[in-house]
Chain A
Amino acid sequence: MNKSIVVIGAGVAGIEVASILADMGYNVFIIEKNKNIGGNVAFWHHLFPNNRSAAEVREYMNQKIKVPNITLFPNTEVTDISQKKNVYVVRTNKDATFEVGAVLIATGFTPFDARRKEEYGYGIYDNVITSVDLEKKLERGENITTTQGMAPKRIAFVHCVGSRDAKVGHTYCSKVCCITGVKQAIEMSKMFPDAEMYCFYMDLRMHGLEYERFYKDAQENYNTQFIRGRVSEVSENKDKSIQLKAEDTLSGLPLKMKVDLLVLLVGMEQGKDSDKLCDILHLHKTPENFIQPQDPHLQGNVSSRQGVFIAGTCIQPMTINETMQNARSAALEINHYLLHL
């Protein structure tokens, strides 16, 4: 039995699978395209639902891979995967070749490219930023100001940017943006206690146990108004402040608002990493362009190809704790597969 596994992607899912399989005695090779591990958590600042520092999760990951039978290959990309019976031969752009019993894809997600929602003016209007930009600024310790260097007095958050939107080909909900918006509104309100926060949403999907508490807290203690309506159009005023148009669908009236800073809550999408692997391995994808599990209930971590497994947000949008659980189930699935070969 080949006791080696290649894990593609050193984010939350990939590292958790690797560490569990390493515990079980497997040799794990992690191939990571970036210099650093952590995936999208690498640049995140604080995490919902308890505002803990993302650095703590990164530290956990760093500790987990410090075991002899995990080898990390940073700045490396998979170029080819072929199969000889039950052995997969994985080649990289660094001319390395791995012969392994199983491959795990944990390529995660790409934040939606907000420039594609042209009506929001991202990349054109200075004071339109994304939730990812905001996390990065906070993590780098930058002051949050308008581009004119002023403290914002009114900040609006736009939900569902790149989610639930046939116009950009994403009909699905990205699951984490609603709660991220609430979290960021609270953070901004703490930073600017006199400022008004507005969240423009279609449905608030507060699915986690603590999320509803967060939402209530934002309303009661952090100057945050929730307006049920999708933002339709964004433009720039002469003073570089932002004008937005939406309908307050609960009162049934169109609304125009001037804000100093607009934060687009970008969703998750599958990028070229998983596209490439699916092409190489001829894996099935869902209509939403995520990697299709063999069976959504019973084999959620098994791809359409024997010996190739999937974990984390390459399957569907997930929170970090869901990703952890999903990774653990993937590790068991891989172990089971290799033991019964």
Chain B
Amino acid sequence: MQNEGLKNIWAKYQKEIADDHYYYLRSCIRQNFFPGAEYYFLKILREVLGKDVYDDPRHTTCTGIGYHSDIVPFETIQTVVAREFALMTAAGYRNVAVSCVTSFGIYSEILETWREFPKELQKARENLWKATKREFEIPENIAHASDIIYKFRHQIAEKAKYKLVNTNTGKPLQIVEHIGCHYAKMFPVKGIGGAEFPQVLSGMIAAWGGDVVDYPERRHCCGFGFRQYLVQQNRGYSLSNSKKKLESMQPYEPDAIICNCPGCTMFLDRWQYTLYEMEGKRYGQNNESIPVLAYEELAALVLGFEPWNVGLQMHEINTESLLDKMGIAYNPDEKYLDKNKQPIGSFNKTGCLSCC
């Protein structure tokens, strides 16, 4: 990899990201599977960076998963998005921070549609008024939540307690980044670094001391495929795409995979487990699995927040190998405890999972 070439591309795709006062739009998948990521995103923005973020209980799903699995019409999703904008407008905000890459793609597609076809915008306004008596302004700035972490990556680095460095060897950790197709493949100018060599995560990784692994299938889809996962019979599609990526990254012996998109985070985590169950195969160093983290979780770790507070116990693939390399202190006995430090349920990782 020649850095000059990368810098040349990155210089072409630096978009404007609002500096403060965000209206937060949550992610269905991230909330379910990585709730700590959203919690720590807000905590980092508010408490570490001193930003104002509005977390509105009235907003809903953007219905993007329904739209891309074809049960929600375009006209409907436009109106749902219009409602999110109406809530933002009513709350006195102009910048949105989107927690989900699918949603981010939806907002990008709809804004482009409204720009090209003003009649569609008109129809969305009419539908929204008819259904809710609400009106809206189009946001001045739409950022994916990772764009905001990227923007403040150096401030986070200044306050960091840990680096993406192997404390045993002193060498940078080798990190695979996975962006998620809907971040920039549809509209490259809307993503930091564009579609081919996105900088949004690699910028964070570099700022926090790690090395980015560029492996041949880096740009390939994780395999979510919407209906290809939602319908049980179709999941082979989803699995085989993740497998293709894992096989391709294996020779680089990555220390972790960092994801932009909540769905990809979940799939690259769960499919590693499934592949081990099916084939007995693992793709990380020393025949272990590769920890998969959301970028918010990574930012929280770097800043010194406690791993079990961040929610790493909700990952199927153990993250302890990464914590150990980074020199992060944690108590293994507290992993499955509740808020009052009492055991939750009777969870005992046995079998293959004890070593995943």
| A-facing residues in B227-271 (Cβ within 8 Å) | 251-252
B15 located at the interface, meaning its Cβ lies under 8 Å from any Cβ of chain A in the complex: no
**Does B216 contact A123, Cβ atoms closer than 8 Å?**
no
**Does A124 contact B219, Cβ atoms closer than 8 Å?**
no
Which A residues are in CB contact (< 8 Å) with B215? 235, 238
**Does A236 contact B1, Cβ atoms closer than 8 Å?**
yes
Residue among B196, B197, B214, B219 with max Cβ neighbours from chain A (10 Å): B196
B6 located at the interface, meaning its Cβ lies under 8 Å from any Cβ of chain A in the complex: yes
A119 located at the interface, meaning its Cβ lies under 8 Å from any Cβ of chain B in the complex: yes
Q: B4, B194, B219: which contacts A123 (Cβ < 8 A)?
A: B4
Interface residues on A, range: 10 to 19
B154 located at the interface, meaning its Cβ lies under 8 Å from any Cβ of chain A in the complex: no
B5 located at the interface, meaning its Cβ lies under 8 Å from any Cβ of chain A in the complex: yes
Q: What is the bound-complex CA distance between A124 and B196, given in angstroms? A: 11
**Does B216 contact A243, Cβ atoms closer than 8 Å?**
yes
Q: What is the bound-complex CA distance between A237 and B9, given in angstroms? A: 20
A290 located at the interface, meaning its Cβ lies under 8 Å from any Cβ of chain B in the complex: no
A88 located at the interface, meaning its Cβ lies under 8 Å from any Cβ of chain B in the complex: no
A122 located at the interface, meaning its Cβ lies under 8 Å from any Cβ of chain B in the complex: yes
**Does A126 contact B2, Cβ atoms closer than 8 Å?**
yes
A-B contact count (CB 8 A): 40
Contact with A along B177-199 (1 / 0, CB 8 A): 00000000000000000111100
**Does B4 contact A235, Cβ atoms closer than 8 Å?**
no
**Does A236 contact B9, Cβ atoms closer than 8 Å?**
no
B217 located at the interface, meaning its Cβ lies under 8 Å from any Cβ of chain A in the complex: yes
Which A residues are in CB contact (< 8 Å) with B214? 235-236
Known: A115-B9, A125-B1. A235 touches B217 (CB 8 A): yes
A322 located at the interface, meaning its Cβ lies under 8 Å from any Cβ of chain B in the complex: no
Q: A124, A126, A237: which contacts B197 (Cβ < 8 A)?
A: A124
Which A residues are in CB contact (< 8 Å) with B251? 238
**Does A124 contact B2, Cβ atoms closer than 8 Å?**
yes
Which B residues are in CB contact (< 8 Å) with A237? 216
Chain B residue at minimal CB-CB distance from A118: B196
Q: A115, A236, A238: which contacts B8 (Cβ < 8 A)?
A: A115
Chain B residue at minimal CB-CB distance from A258: B216
A233 located at the interface, meaning its Cβ lies under 8 Å from any Cβ of chain B in the complex: yes
Chain B residue at minimal CB-CB distance from A115: B8
Q: B5, B6, B195, B252: which contacts A122 (Cβ < 8 A)?
A: B5
**Does B5 contact A115, Cβ atoms closer than 8 Å?**
yes
**Does B9 contact A118, Cβ atoms closer than 8 Å?**
yes
Which A residues are in CB contact (< 8 Å) with B1? 124-125, 236
Which A residues are in CB contact (< 8 Å) with B195? 118
Q: What is the bound-complex CA distance between A119 and B216, given in angstroms? A: 12
Say how far B42's CB is from chain A's closest CB, in angstroms.
34
B21 located at the interface, meaning its Cβ lies under 8 Å from any Cβ of chain A in the complex: no
Q: A118, A126, A236, A243: which contacts B194 (Cβ < 8 A)?
A: A118
Residue among A118, A119, A121, A125 with max Cβ neighbours from chain B (10 Å): A118
Chain B residue at minimal CB-CB distance from A244: B216
B335 located at the interface, meaning its Cβ lies under 8 Å from any Cβ of chain A in the complex: no
**Does A124 contact B5, Cβ atoms closer than 8 Å?**
yes
Q: A115, A118, A235: which contacts B216 (Cβ < 8 A)?
A: A235
Which A residues are in CB contact (< 8 Å) with B194? 118
B218 located at the interface, meaning its Cβ lies under 8 Å from any Cβ of chain A in the complex: yes
Q: What is the bound-complex CA distance between A35 and B197, given in angstroms? A: 37
**Does A118 contact B197, Cβ atoms closer than 8 Å?**
yes
Q: What is the bound-complex CA distance between A253 and B164, given in angstroms? A: 41
Q: A119, A236, A238, A243: which contacts B196 (Cβ < 8 A)?
A: A119
Known: A118-B196, A118-B197, A119-B196. A235 touches B219 (CB 8 A): yes
Which A residues are in CB contact (< 8 Å) with B197? 118, 124
Q: What is the bound-complex CA distance between A236 and B251, given in angstroms? A: 13
| A-facing residues in B281-333 (Cβ within 8 Å) | none
Which B residues are in CB contact (< 8 Å) with A122? 5
Which B residues are in CB contact (< 8 Å) with A126? 2
Known: A118-B194, A118-B196. A124 touches B6 (CB 8 A): yes
Q: What is the bound-complex CA distance between A235 and B216, given in angstroms? A: 5
Q: What is the bound-complex CA distance between A159 and B194, given in angstroms? A: 24
Chain A residue at minimal CB-CB distance from B252: A238
Which A residues are in CB contact (< 8 Å) with B5? 115, 121-124
Known: A118-B194, A238-B252. A233 touches B2 (CB 8 A): no
Which B residues are in CB contact (< 8 Å) with A233? 219
Which B residues are in CB contact (< 8 Å) with A115? 5, 8-9
8 closest Cβ pairs, A-B complex: A123-B5, A124-B5, A118-B196, A235-B216, A243-B216, A238-B251, A119-B196, A124-B2
List 12 additional contacts besides A118-B194, A122-B5, A235-B217; criterion CB under 8 Å: A115-B5, A118-B9, A123-B2, A124-B2, A124-B6, A125-B1, A126-B2, A235-B218, A235-B219, A238-B215, A238-B251, A238-B252
User: Would you list 15 pairs from A and B whose C-beta atoms are within 8 A, ordered by A residue?
Assistant: A115-B8, A118-B196, A118-B197, A119-B196, A123-B4, A123-B8, A124-B2, A124-B9, A124-B197, A125-B2, A233-B219, A236-B1, A236-B214, A236-B216, A238-B251
Interface residues of chain B, those whose CB is within 8 Å of chain A, are 1-2, 4-6, 8-9, 194-197, 214-219, 251-252
